[in-house]
Structure 1
Amino acid sequence: MKKNISILVFLLCVFGLSAQNAKDILDKANLAYNKAGGITASFTVNTEDVKGKTVYSQDGKAYLKGNKFKIDVPDGITWFDGKTQWVYAKGSDEVNVSNPTGEELAGVSPSVLLSLYKTGFKLNYKGEKKEKTKTVYIVEMIPLGKKTEFSKMIVTIDKATNIFTSVSTYGKDGVDNHLIINKIQTGVNLADNIFIFNKKEYPGVEVIDLR
């Protein structure tokens, strides 16, 4: 009986430590992002089907500062100034303007993504691994609600800088998305107008106000 109790206590300690480590790691990553100031990053997004075959891949660049962002990919550009969002499909003749909800921002906003773990997720620390010259932490986030479109999220975080290096979501429909940060620079001086659509730079584009 004592042996069984000892094993149970050991397991509880191990799993409790795992969850605590996962939250601590994400807390540090969130703090590092908030202290980073302006950020520029180049990234790749790979979409895979249920068999693990890449069906779509695109490179892009992100400009980030607090809750503001500009995301530029081959298909289009998204600006968000902390309240208003502009979405422009490249080659089209219109840009859509909206005041997105927190749920709508979760899929595109880095600051919202970095806060997701605080509620509604079971966190699992999955250890460390080498990524080229970096050692990264691996954290698994499993949503507790049934309404999410993905079954789990895996994030990797640079052990030396506490900055995210990748985010993977595993869709319930069998489609997985992997965001990989190729290069990142912090402490960049970014003017606030970078995060606002400038109509003068897009002559002939109609502004569709959805607010």
Structure 2
Amino acid sequence: MKKIVLMGILIGGVVFNGTAQSKGSLGQNDPKAKTVLDGVSKKFKTLKTVVANFVLKVEGANNSVSDSKKGTVYLKGSKYKVTMEGQEMISDNKTSWTYAKDVNEVTINNVDQNSGALTPAKLFTNFYDKDFLYRLEGESTEKGKVLQNIEMTPTDKSKNIFKVLVSVDKKNQNISKMKVFEKNGNHYTYEITNFSPNAKVDDATFTFDAKKYPGVEVVDLR
């Protein structure tokens, strides 16, 4: 899976930015799951900013852990920044910057407001409501938290992802964990280790300042 898609899925695991809807002719969603997702959505809409730390665990087809990375997500309205080890993805909702530390290169693009791409700002608005079915799989207890587990499956069976498991902290109505299953057998687990609502986040966070990256190569595709 490409780095950008990985980080995009992560944001979906942190917050729901829209309201879960029924699928009509495509199938029937679980009303209990809808209640959970709507609760997360309602709470998020009251927040001015979010800063969340996470751990990404990558597992191969044999369930052996092949990689583990830490990262941080910053959200402010439609603006976002995702940092992982050696990677950054930034958007002020007009321009996006994707930075790769290993080659010291940043790629700049215009944000296409009509695009169906899986950006952090869009993932759980049009993407989620239009492309997935969901059902509540029950509750579990992990690290002292009661989690409500929801299984999501894409209506388009040609997608590389065939299932996503989202675990919601029942008490705080925040996303605690998200596991993505690919058809090739790979699994990606995102666990939120710290969630800070309404943290102070400057608007400068959501732009790329080349002066802070000496010698950076700029690939401007605008």
TM-score, with structure 2 as normaliser: 0.80
**1:210 — aligned with what?**
221
8 Å contact kept, 2:93–2:111: no
- Opposite residue 105 of structure 1, the aligned amino acid is L
**1:10 — aligned with what?**
none
The 3-state SS of whatever aligns with 1:104 is: coil
Mapped pair 1:160 → 2:196? no
**1:191 — aligned with what?**
202
**2:122 — aligned with what?**
112
- Opposite residue 120 of structure 1, the aligned amino acid is D
- Opposite residue 192 of structure 2, the aligned amino acid is I
Unaligned runs of 5+ in 1: 1-15
8 Å contact kept, 1:30–1:114: no
1:92-113 Cα deviation digits (max 9, x unpaired): 232101135544334xx1x433
Q: 1:20 to 1:150 in 2, by over 3 A?
A: same
Q: What number of residue pairs does the alignment pair up?
A: 192
Q: 1:120 to 1:104 in 2, by over 3 A?
A: closer
- Opposite residue 143 of structure 2, the aligned amino acid is K
Alignment RMSD: 1.8
Deviation at 1:195, TM superposition (A): 0.8
Mapped pair 1:57 → 2:54? no
Unaligned runs of 5+ in 2: 1-27
The 3-state SS of whatever aligns with 1:105 is: coil
Mapped pair 1:83 → 2:94? yes
Question: Residues 1-211 of structure 1 correspond to what in structure 2 (within 5 A)?
Answer: 19-100=30-111, 102-106=115-119, 109=120, 111-115=121-125, 116-211=127-222
Give the Cα separation in 2 of the matches to 1:105 and 1:68.
14
Instruction: Name the % identity.
Output: 30
Deviation at 1:164, TM superposition (A): 0.7
8 Å contact kept, 1:93–1:206: yes
1:110-157 Cα deviation digits (max 9, x unpaired): x43333431222211011111212111111101111232111111011
8 Å contact kept, 1:125–1:138: yes
